[in-house]
Structure 1
Amino acid sequence: METDRKLGEFLRARRELTPPARVDLPDAGSRRTPGLRREEVAMLIGVSTDYYVRLEQGRERNPSDQVIAALTEVFTLGADAVAHLYALARGPSPADPDPCPPEGATDEVSPHLIRLMDSWPRTPAFVINQCMETLALNPSATAFYERGLRRKPKIGNNTLRAMFLDPVAREFYADWESTARAKVAHFRATAGRNLHDPRVSELVDELTDLSPEFRDAWARYDVQIEPGRLRRFRHELVGELTVITEVFSLAGAPGQHLITFQAGHDRHSAEALEEMCREVT
């Protein structure tokens, strides 16, 4: 079954990303792959090595709640990754009965939200769906990205595709690598269990073929709705600036997220953001 294979891939990826020191094991002897050995994970979660191997190979299809809880502790999974693991193992977790929106999630943005966004002249704001497609932008966001990416952003543009395939994005995002990985983790959290959706599977296939960086990030199985964070941009007009990003899930609009930018705490970033948000003529 496809779900069994995905569960095994998830466990293997997280095992290889977990250093022995994190679980108080000595890093002794040669290791063919980074991270923990299968027998070490089995010991830590209290099962036989053969049982854990069957999990990774997709031959064990019904791990208990105790085993899943132990895996989340060993791999130090966050809430989004835990929900993803539960869904791979047996469907949505009890604490999060609908963590991933259905295929019919709406792409229509509330006109009241659009009016609110348009009232923020110095706060770039935009809405994306679970496929990372832009559904709405306010004038500040349009001007910011038009200057930064040297083209006017359009409704329907895919932000994940632009991040990995647009060479200008690598210049505009001063912390491109960490931002790109965060976007992949966000995408897997919102759409990673809807791989049967053609929009999702086709995007994954395209980026896997065209971007080695995406291929590596996707294989890590990081799962996390992008949190609020500091993000750095650079542009020839203003130099480098720091912005504070916030990501909000929209009640009543499954799969939609509102993303806002505010200037960092330094005066230069405040002045630079204001300059970047001026309407492009």
Structure 2
Amino acid sequence: MTDNQLGEFLRARRAAVRPDEVGMPSHGVRRVAGLRREEVAVLAGVNADYYTRLEQGRERHPSAQVVDALSRALLLDADARTHLHRLSRTAPPQRPVAATDRVAPGLHALLDDYSGTPAFVINPTLDVLAANALAKALYSPFERMDNLARMVFLDPAGRPFHPRWGRTAETVVGHLRQAAGTDPGSPRLRVLVAELRARCADFDRLWNTHTVRGKTRENKHLRHPDVGGLTLTHHAFDVRDAPGQQLIVYHAERGSPSAEALSLLGSVHASPCSTRRSPF
């Protein structure tokens, strides 16, 4: 990560917008992908030189009104618009809180109570802080259930486990980009991103798109070597007394093949004869 995250974000998002998407003519040979700087300036109603200074890092403090105009010009969704406000320091100031990776005993007990569905706790950098037995069974094909990003991009089990790997990869990177906007100085995030960029070209390519995406309720499509395919709904809950932590719960529709597969998975991994390694 560089010290010109605002400029990098604007350049990447400008490159992702086709002229026809915003009613701009697309005649002649374009030397750049997406929109030209001048076109973004026209769409946002700002001076072209001023917009150029924003991208180059010579201007770093646009007003909230300019940020909103740029968000509309670049067709940003809600997550990306919030991220741009954070990078521009126009988001409402947040009271500093001490982040923690310690999972409270009560939350551990709650995880264990979710015996029929996978549940686990993550931090903003997608480190898995705690998990119940069924979540460990679900992610048992991986060497370690330690960090969701490392599991998707670096573990050999990542691609066969995620049949829609490309979509999963985009979501993971978008979540880390959102974390970078919230806490750009995070040492843990810097180390993780540096490792993933060095070891995985796909991650490096996606990171350079500056796509931002928070946790969604999209269905998870997974394939476990023991029970086959699963389609699970996904819910994320903020942990009120531990800023940055999220409780993630997967759920299969009652009576569905995925529900039967989860039940079978729990039985297989609860068997005393099972020799599978622990993911922790």
Q: CA deviation at 1:247?
A: 1.5
Alignment partner of 2:151 out of 154, 159, 162: 162
Structure 1 stretches of 5 or more lacking a match?
A: none
**Cα separation, 2, equivalents of 1:274 and 1:32:** 55
**Cα separation, 2, equivalents of 1:275 and 1:122:** 11
Deviations 1:204-232 (A, max 9, x none): 11111111111011111111212111111
**Cα separation, 2, equivalents of 1:77 and 1:265:** 36
Alignment of 1:17-166 (within 5 A): 17-90=16-89, 93-94=91-92, 97-98=93-94, 104-146=98-140, 148-149=141-142, 151=143, 153=145, 157-166=146-155
**Residues 190 and 277 of structure 1: CA distance in aligned 2, closer, same or farther (over 3 Å):** farther
Is contact 1:126-1:135 (8 Å) kept? yes
SS at match of 1:271: helix
**Residues 273 and 63 of structure 1: CA distance in aligned 2, closer, same or farther (over 3 Å):** same
RMSD, matched Cα: 2.0
| Matching residue of 2:246 | 257
Q: CA deviation at 1:142?
A: 1.0
Q: CA deviation at 1:14?
A: 0.6
**Cα separation, 2, equivalents of 1:187 and 1:152:** 20
Is contact 2:237-2:248 (8 Å) kept? yes
Alignment of 1:196-215 (within 5 A): 196-215=185-204
| Matching residue of 2:260 | 271
1:15 matched to 2:11? The reply is no
Alignment length (residue pairs): 269
Alignment of 1:186-205 (within 5 A): 186-205=175-194
Q: TM-score, normalised by structure 1?
A: 0.88
Q: CA deviation at 1:6?
A: 1.0
**Cα separation, 1, equivalents of 2:156 and 2:7:** 34
**Cα separation, 2, equivalents of 1:13 and 1:139:** 41
Q: Identical aligned pairs, as a percentage?
A: 44
1:177 matched to 2:166? The reply is yes
Structure 2 stretches of 5 or more lacking a match?
A: 275-280
Is contact 1:232-1:243 (8 Å) kept? yes
Alignment partner of 1:231 out of 220, 223, 233: 220
**Cα separation, 2, equivalents of 1:13 and 1:48:** 20
